[in-house]
Amino acid sequence: MSLPSPSVSIPPEPAPELEPVAPPAAPSALRGVVDLALRVVGGVLSVVAAAVTAVLELILSMLRVGGVLIGVSVLVTVLANVALGWFAPRVVGRRWALALPAVVWFALMVVAAGGTSEGDVLIAANNWVGLVMIFAGSVTFAVMGFRMIMNPRGPEPPGLQL
């Protein structure tokens, strides 16, 4: 057997007062300067890395085992250029930053393939590894650029827009 319970009405709680939502604070001038400085340093770092890897690849292009050229510099070139092609746009925050390491790398390869007035060359015409290395590195940067063009969202993080 159950007893009827008396109906008790509970008064509704008053709605909490909503505080006005403040708009997000604008980034401070110092934050903008630091962001810009980090982007510039990242761009310079990608240029220096391109030069260092290009020199390393040129040294490895002459590597021989048992008197036979081995193509280890081609693999190093592709891996290094993919890394540089990923790094530069990410740290600079702009897609055009892919051109920073690409232009430096390609310019060093052109200088290495060209001879001096004395006839000295770093990549000889009979060095198949050097020629394949230049081709593979150029194609790598071209593919990275093509992928960036085809991806409209790109690597540009929100922040300072230059």
Total-model pTM: 0.73
Tens digits of residue pLDDT in 134-147: 999 999 999 999 98
86 sits in the region (left: phi over 0; alpha: psi -120 to 50; else beta) called alpha
Whole-number Å distance between alpha carbons of 113 and 121: 6
pLDDT digits (tens, 9 = 90+) for 63-104: 889 888 888 999 999 999 999 999 999 999 888 999 999 999
In the chain, the percentage of residues whose pLDDT exceeds 70 is 82
The whole-number pLDDT of residue 8 equals: 66
> Which pLDDT value is given to residue 161?
47
The rounded distance, in Å, linking the Cα atoms of 51 and 62 is 18
C-alpha dist (Å) from residue 125 to 28, 112, 128, 132, 133: 56, 11, 7, 11, 13
Cα separation, 63 vs 55, whole angstroms:
13
N-to-C CA span, the chain: 79
Whether residue 162 has pLDDT greater than 50: no
Is residue 150 helix, strand or coil?
helix
Give the whole-angstrom CA distance, residue 42 versus residue 81: 16
pLDDT tens-digit map of 22-43: 777 666 778 888 889 999 999 9
